[in-house]
A and B are shown apart, each in its own frame.
Chain A
């Protein structure tokens, strides 16, 4: 038994037949072909699968694809416009906010939500806002710097 879902991802319409049990992360990666969001834990702890659902950061490993029917999603692939990087992407690059890069797509999208809620976040707000995204490489300090830099640029 399959269901038809229609949704928008990164501004483009998608229509697909999916099993009701198909997780959104598997839909994105294996049906829509968007492998930017990653699978790190499948228990909604690590945040590597974070995408924006109608502008809100969600963990796509603990949502079914059919729950995204009629919704609008943004994945990491949808942030840059051609060669023009999103200010957060640019800031992660400049500040060395990543090492192995596996958590980075989710981290950047959570940071985007954070900046939407707190355009000029304090260090504490940044650390609290990114609590749901785990990084094993950086110790988070350069990630904090990157979010601060992106906020400063947006405020400038």
Chain B
């Protein structure tokens, strides 16, 4: 045994390039569509071109006659299966039966009608065109406010009012707050429908092994375990005979936090044709048939005193649900209600949601899921109030923030904010931009006839989803850590990352805790046959919940390792440090590998200790975490064209402790890009007949490199007390902070013309018209 002095090296908190990247930068990663199997067939889905129509008939003979076509399935073939599941449960929720394929009518453009299966992708495409569907088009409604107005065409004939649910929540005494108010501000604010647009579309490969009666489903998903449970339910097959594997997943942003008809359909097809079958969504299908996000029409009323003290908030949300409930559709606007008070102290809130069916693809979780809508609303209302009272927007925020000494803070919507110092990032960001100087510059610009705006948003969000009682299907996460006999470490996590980089951040945590090199750690995820049950990656939860589970499993394992170290060193006073166990009395040590061998060879065992070095924890978080921050956006608007130039974007986010600053920067940048996309460019547009006008990337403008400003990102650090890592979550922060900062900035640029509010996206046409009309919409 050697005497060693080991200096523990801390990897948590350091910029470390990702372990994931070598396969991704060399083109050797395996995404769903890269997979091939012997005898594999290709499926194409025939979709409805109409938003609402009855079937007069479907003819599949011509498609079946094409050489290479193995089968065509229609609604009748899968009537006994399903339905497509929803996990949202609200009192009185109307849930239409969501068949895997349309039965006798279609409810949105893109509704799956038939599946064509062929030996070749091109033949399947040809055959799909040969399926003849005779439709009788029906009146459709695509706008949620029109849908719930009297006389609208019913989306589902059984519910002619198109109301899927109503929901009410209140806290405090809102009526009294409005009675006592010296000023009341009212504003209609929309958060338009958005298309998530992960660069990899959805895809499924199903492999049926008839002899074993087992099915393997490869799917580009964020939630392999939930998918296994739910697809097994749809098919009526034993869950343990179904395996779900996520290959490399090319982005999700919530759009792959779902179980879609196609997953169950491909399983069904594979069993019927007794060959593997692959379906990969085209971009057009991705736009028509993968969930959209947002889709809010919000009516806000804010009560305040003339000194700027905010007293109460009323909100009516009309949520465009689309034609069906996907996994979380109806639950998303309830998150908006939870977050409606933002970072402010007011105790009197009242919210109503009307969930409206429309003849559109369902909305569901898209980056931020409910929180961007709430933040956009409150942050716009605060600015409108500041303008009304002729107060500075920074000052009014500082006046109303929950104080740093008030945590944990119970909100009027029933949350307990874990920790915070909301003034800190705001003061920091104002210092970074030299706010007083910017206001002077703005005044000068106005005198020169230029339109310069300064926009502030201060946001909070609910992350680390979340305590199980508050979640539809469990909010814990699992981790297994195995120290192999060679001393290498394998981690199995139930979080299923798809670009976030947990193979790296989790390895950093392990390397620090066990004192092993980063390269000795392998993180496995996304295979239900390899990983114990888990929940998945969404809601900025992977590190805050999955990382915490990993941390606790590591503590269990360290305790066991220490027993083997003590046995080998024949000492009662040992410490585990820097990858070795050291006798505190004499400095003797045993290496990690020596302890690992001892645990598996098991010639001798410590008292009451089993062989092996494996620990599993299922960690249930006691609360959500609540990151916060402040973004400032400086814009200049061209009064002749309505073009918006972002001169400066500065973000100060507080996401708790940071594991890897390089990856955090990436999350902030990407989040801001999606927020900016909503603020300036993106909008899923259905026409009155329910045709998706923005049906391809040619017509739906996601941010390009040339449109993005340089993002100046920094942090304040307020650790979360909720988990042992002190982390809060960063996946959605940028998106949530961004859109109100941008809109506040542009409204600020035009405020002296009388502009008080503009709905997103701030297209040049919309802005130019406002300028041309002297600020009047």
Interface residues on B, range: 35 or more
Q: Which of A16-43 contact B (CB under 8 A)?
A: 19, 21-22, 26, 29-30, 34-43
Partner of A99, one of B122, B500, B702, B711: B500
Do residues A140 and B121 form an inter-chain contact, with CB atoms below 8 A? no
Contact present for B251 and A131 (CB under 8 Å): no
Q: Tell me how far the C-beta of B252 lies from the nearest C-beta in chain A, rounded to whole angstroms.
A: 8
Q: Does the CB pair A135–B199 fall under 8 Å?
A: yes
B122 adjacent to A36 (CB under 8 Å):
no
Structural contact, A85 and B25, CB atoms closer than 8 A:
yes
Q: How many interface residues does A have (CB within 8 Å)?
A: 57
A98–B705 CB distance below 8 A: no
In the bound complex, CA of A40 to CA of B282 (Å): 8
B486-512 contacts to A (CB < 8 Å): 498-501
Whether B41 sits at the interface, judged by CB under 8 Å, is no
On whether the beta carbons of B696 and A41 are closer than 8 Å, the reply is: yes
Task: Decide yes or no whether A138 CB sits under 8 A from chain B.
Answer: yes
A106 to chain B, nearest CB (A): 9
Q: Which chain A positions have C-beta within 8 A of B21?
A: 92-93, 98, 101
Stretch binding the partner chain, chosen from B53-61, B375-383, B449-457, B660-668: B660-668
Q: Which residues of chain A in 105-146 are interfacial with respect to chain B, using CB atoms and an 8 Å cutoff?
A: 105, 108, 123, 126-128, 130-131, 133-144
From B33, B198, B674, B711, A100 is in contact (CB under 8 Å) with B198
Closest residue of chain B to A22, judged by CB?
B122
Which residues on B sit within 8 Å (CB–CB) of A92?
21, 25
Query: A140 and B24: CB pair below 8 A?
Result: no
Specify which of B17, B26, B698, B734 is in contact with A80 (CB 8 Å cutoff). Answer: B26
Binding stretch for chain B, among A52-60, A62-70, A71-79: A71-79
Q: Which of A43, A130, A137 contacts B499 (CB 8 A)?
A: A137
Check A40/B283 contact, CB under 8 A, given A76-B27, A103-B199, A127-B706.
Answer: yes
* Docked complex: B10-26 residues within 8 A CB-CB of A: 17-18, 20-26
* Measured CA separation A21–B126 after assembly (Å): 12
CA distance A41 to B663 in the complex (A): 27
Look across to chain B and name the residue whose beta carbon is closest to the beta carbon of A144. B705
Contact flag A140-B27 (CB < 8 Å), given A94-B17, A100-B200: no
Nearest B residue to A135 via CB reads: B199
Distance (Å) between the CB of B286 and the closest chain A CB?
9
Q: How many angstroms from the CA of A135 to the CA of B250 in the assembled complex?
A: 10
In the complex the two chains form, is A98's CB within 8 Å of B200's CB?
Answer: no
Determine whether the beta carbon of A40 is less than 8 Å from that of B200: yes
Q: Which residue of B lies closest to A93 (CB)?
A: B21
Known pairs A94-B17, A100-B198; A137 contacts B27 (CB<8 A): no
CB distance from B665 to the nearest CB of A (A): 7
Q: Is B249 an interface residue (CB 8 A)?
A: yes
Whether A102 lies near B34 (C-beta < 8 A) is no
Q: Does B248 contact A (CB under 8 A)?
A: yes
Pairwise interchain contact B669-A139, C-beta atoms closer than 8 A: yes
Tell me which of B670, B673, B702 has the highest count of chain A C-beta atoms within 10 A of its own C-beta. B670
Is B197's CB within 8 Å of the partner chain A? yes
Given A26-B121, A139-B672, A141-B669, the answer on whether A77 and B27 have CB atoms closer than 8 Å is yes
- Give, as a whole number of angstroms, the nearest-CB distance from B529 to chain A: 23
0/1 string, B16-54, CB within 8 A of A gives 1: 011011111111111101101000000000000000000
- Chain A residues positioned under 8 Å from B248 (CB to CB): 100-101
Residue B710 CB within 8 A of the other chain: yes
Whether A45 and B199, one on each chain, are in contact in the complex, defined by CB atoms closer than 8 angstroms, is no
A76 close to B706 (CB less than 8 A): no
Interface membership of B335, Cβ < 8 A: no
List residues of chain B with CB within 8 A of the CB of A77. Answer: 26-28
Complex-state Cα separation, A89 to B26, whole angstroms: 7
Contacting A at CB under 8 A, from B698-742, are 698, 702-706, 708, 710-711, 734
A42 to B706 Cα, complex, angstroms: 22
Residues on B with beta carbons closer than 8 Å to the beta carbon of A133: 705
Which B residue sits closest to A138, measured CB to CB?
Answer: B670
Contact (A37, B705) CB under 8 Å given A100-B250, A103-B199, A139-B711: no
Q: Which residue of A lies closest to B504 (CB)?
A: A96
B476 within 8 A of A: no
B551 on interface, CB distance cutoff 8 Å: no
With A43-B698, A138-B666 as contacts: A35 and B199 at CB distance below 8 Å: no
A48 within 8 A of B: yes
Residues from chain A with a CB closer than 8 A to the CB of B705 are 126-128, 130-131, 133, 135, 140, 143-144
B663 touching A42 by the CB < 8 A rule? no
Nearest-neighbour CB distance to chain A for B36, whole angstroms, equals 8
- Asked whether, in the complex, the Cβ of B706 is within 8 Å of the Cβ of A128, the reply is yes
Residues from 625 to 678 in B contacting A, C-beta threshold 8 Å: 662-663, 665-666, 668-674
A105 touching B122 in the complex, CB below 8 Å, given contacts A138-B669, A139-B673: no
- Nearest residue in A to B677 (C-beta to C-beta)? A136
Is B268 an interface position by the 8 A CB rule? no
Whole-angstrom CA separation of A102 from B203 in the bound complex = 14
B25 touches A104 (CB 8 A): yes
Partner of A140, one of B23, B251, B665, B708: B708
Chain B hits for A108, CB < 8 A: 25
Is the CB–CB distance between B27 and A35 below 8 Å? yes
Contact, CB under 8 Å: A134 / B704: yes
Picked from B26, B282, B708, the residue with its CB within 8 Å of the CB of A85 is B26
Q: What separation, in Å, do the CA atoms of A22 and B662 have in the docked complex?
A: 41
Q: A46 CA to B122 CA in the complex, in Å? A: 22
Q: Which residues of A contact B669 (CB under 8 A)?
A: 138-142
Q: How far is the CA of A131 from the CA of B704 in the complex (A)?
A: 6
Contact of A35 among B18, B34, B282 (CB under 8 A): B34
Q: Please indicate the chain A residues that have their CB under 8 angstroms from the CB of B22 in the complex.
A: 93
Whether B696 contacts A43 by the Cβ 8 Å rule is yes
Nearest residue, chain B, Cβ from A142: B666
When the two chains form their complex, are residues A104 and B122 in contact, meaning their CB atoms are under 8 A apart?
Answer: no
Q: How far is the CB of A98 from chain B (nearest CB, A)?
A: 6
A34 surroundings in chain B (CB, below 8 A): 27
The residue on B at minimum CB distance from A102 is B250
* Highest count of chain A CB atoms <10 Å: which of B34, B253, B705, B711: B705
Interchain CB contact under 8 A, B702 and A136: yes
B288 → A minimal CB distance (Å): 14
Some 24 contacts from A to B, beta carbons below 8 A apart, are: A30-B36, A35-B33, A35-B34, A36-B26, A36-B27, A43-B697, A45-B697, A46-B199, A85-B26, A93-B21, A99-B666, A100-B198, A102-B31, A102-B200, A102-B250, A128-B706, A131-B706, A137-B251, A138-B670, A139-B669, A139-B703, A140-B703, A141-B710, A141-B711
Interface residues of A (CB under 8 A from B): 19, 21-22, 26, 29-30, 34-43, 45-46, 48, 75-77, 79-80, 85, 89, 92-94, 96, 98-105, 108, 123, 126-128, 130-131, 133-144
A-B pairs, top 5 by smallest CB distance, nearest first, are: A36-B27, A102-B250, A100-B499, A101-B24, A139-B669
